[in-house]
Amino acid sequence: MQPLAERMRPTTLDDYIGQDHIIGRTAPLRKNIENGIIPSMIFWGPPGVGKTTLAKIISSESKRPFYTLSAVNSGVKDVREVIDNAKKSQFFNSASPILFIDEIHRFNKSQQDSLLAAVENGTVVLIGATTENPSFEVITPLLSRAQVYVLKELTIDNLKQMLNRAMTLDSIFKTFQIEIKEYEALLRYSGGDGRKLLNILELVVNSIPENPKVIDNALVELILQEQMAVYDKGGEMHYDIISAFIKSIRGSDPNAAVYWLARMLDGGEDVKFIARRLIILAAEDIGLSNPNALLIANQAFQAVNVIGMPEARIILSEAALYLALSPKSNSAYLAIDNAMQLVKQTGNLSVPLSLRNAPSKLMKDLGYGKGYRYSHDYPNHFVAQEFLPKEISNEAIFKPANNQKEHEYLKQIEQQWGRKYSK
């Protein structure tokens, strides 16, 4: 017999619960599906919010063949076999089949590269599912060919709706008299994961011999007395604990940092995932106040790749403590965000002629490179000249933070540039 979660998997958009922002009645994706316009796309969101289900519904509603691969146990050979089968299944003017790849972030570059041609020429429509930010985990050429949709955590109302739907519509459960007097424990143990919620409901209902079956918090906790894993690296706790870990380091608390690190390691978290987050934190939250932090974090990432557990815990501990005890600055983070915002506001401003290369006589005659001064020919390897487009000539994009190291940078800027960037 199929598990309850599988029996209750929605098969139409009308039955699908949650994600109204992308498949609500007037949402763009829903309109595209109803009109048969199915672009390649990537669903990004936490576990149990319906990524796989939505992909299957899209296939069903658009009447397209559905191929599926799991990035956990599939390689380039599997991808090519599916693409070959997709080519064979296509007939004149038939719609391209859908290739669904679960956990696409686990595909390496060569595996993702193997998808490019088939996606680009329309042999398949790719739908990828990921719990990780696709900007970091999916190669740019593939990402540029797919629309990213962010699936949100299910709300309490969404989760209650799933429970009530199961109790009233499931062929087995509707033969029982089920009453949920208290929802809190069911929702808490599920961690916001719809699939896990239905699995818990099935376990609890099957553990109650009598009918009617009355469910309250105490009963749920008693039945789940062994409790589901305190740390679920695929669930909501994964996001909560990594958040606590990062915030503890940002907040310069070494004790909290190693505590949350231990929680993740004890729960079986991927050490490379932890190390990657340390690299990001070193640049975002420490930055120029201690440039060695990024070197330490990167070396820690390389080391855990080579060493693995259990010794990797020592490397991660050293890195986490070093970062927690480092002075903090987000000036580099703010600088690039300021620059990106400025680019959006001002558009494609012309590169000053003095900064342009002049590989041909024509370019030299047009003034390319004219007036450029080679910094190394001047005292202290510096000479004041214009490096920004004239429209934003005096824009102070980088603003040193209030720490010893960046005070030195500020002094350097003032000595070299005077009042140019003083506003």
CATH code for position 106: 3.40.50.300
User: Both tokens of residue 52?
Assistant: 């796989």
Q: Report how far Cα 37 is from the mean position of its chain's Cα atoms.
A: 26
- What pLDDT sits at residue 232? 53
d(CA 125, CA 136): 22
Nearest CA to 130 out of 190, 66, 47 is that of: 47
Distance from C-alpha of 10 to C-alpha of 23, rounded to nearest angstrom:
14
Q: Are residues 71 and 107 in contact, defined by beta-carbon separation less than 8 angstroms?
A: yes
Q: Is there a domain that residue 26 lies in?
A: yes
Strand partners, 51: none
> Do 73 and 175 fall within a single domain?
no
pLDDT tens digits, one per residue of 38-78: 999 999 988 889 999 999 999 999 989 999 988 877 878 88
Mean pLDDT of the chain: 88
Residues 101 and 132 in one domain: yes
Judge if 23 and 134 occupy the same domain: yes
Task: Encode 281-326 in three state secondary structure.
Answer: HHHHHHHHHCCHHHHHHHHHHHHHHHHCCCCHHHHHHHHHHHHHHC
Residue finishing a domain among 276, 306, 325: 325
pLDDT per residue as tens digits for the range 181-200:
999 989 988 878 898 899 89
Specify whether 134 is located in the same domain as 37: yes
Model confidence at 225: pLDDT above 70: no
Answer yes or no: is 228 within a domain.
no
Do 245 and 128 have their domain in common?
Answer: no
R_g over Cα of the chain: 28
- Nearest-5° angle of CA 227, CA 232, CA 235? 115
264 within a domain of the structure (yes/no):
yes
Residue 172 and residue 131 share a domain: no
| Contacts of 390 by beta carbon, 8 Å cutoff, 6+ apart | 352
CA–CA gap between residue 91 and residue 94 (Å, rounded): 5
Other CB atoms within 10 A of residue 370 CB: 12
Tokens of 165: 């739907």
Whether residue 293 sits in one domain with residue 213: no
Query: How many angstroms separate the first and last alpha carbons of the chain?
Result: 71
Would you say residue 218 lies in a domain?
A: yes
One-letter amino acid for residue 28 of the chain? P
Amino acid at 419: R
| Single pTM value for the model | 0.56
Residue 67 has φ and ψ, to the nearest 5°, of -110, 145
Between CA 149 and CA 171 the distance in angstroms is 33
- Residue 359 domain flag: no
| One domain, residues 280 and 318 | yes
Residue-number span of the structural domain to which 81 is assigned = 18-150
> Domain boundary at 295, 325, 355, which?
325
pLDDT, tens only, 73-132: 787 888 888 888 888 777 667 788 999 999 898 888 888 888 999 898 888 999 999 988
Distance CA 162, CA 387 (A): 59
Q: Which of 278, 295, 325 is at the close of a domain?
A: 325
Residue pLDDT, tens place only, 311-335:
999 999 999 999 999 999 999 999 9
* 193 and 292 housed in the same domain: no
**What are the backbone dihedrals phi and psi of residue 31, each rounded to the nearest 5 degrees, phi first?**
-65, -40
* Residues 300, 302, 307, 310, CA torsion sign: positive
Calculate mean pLDDT across residues 237-264: 88
For residue 233, the model assigns a pLDDT of 52
- For residues 231 and 263, give the distance between their C-alpha atoms in angstroms, rounded to a whole number: 7
Q: How far apart are CA 71 and CA 407, in angstroms?
A: 48
DSSP H or E run through 80: helix 76-89
Q: Is the dihedral of CA 302, 305, 310, 311 positive or negative?
A: negative
Place of tokens 């039955």: 15
Number of structural domains the chain divides into:
3
Res 228 pLDDT > 50:
no
E-strand spans in 52-211? 66-70, 98-102, 125-130, 147-150, 178-180
Distance, CA of 334 to CA of 285 (rounded, Å)? 10
Residue 356, CA distances (Å) to 62, 334, 393 in order: 51, 28, 17
CB atoms under 10 Å from CB of 419, counted, come to: 8
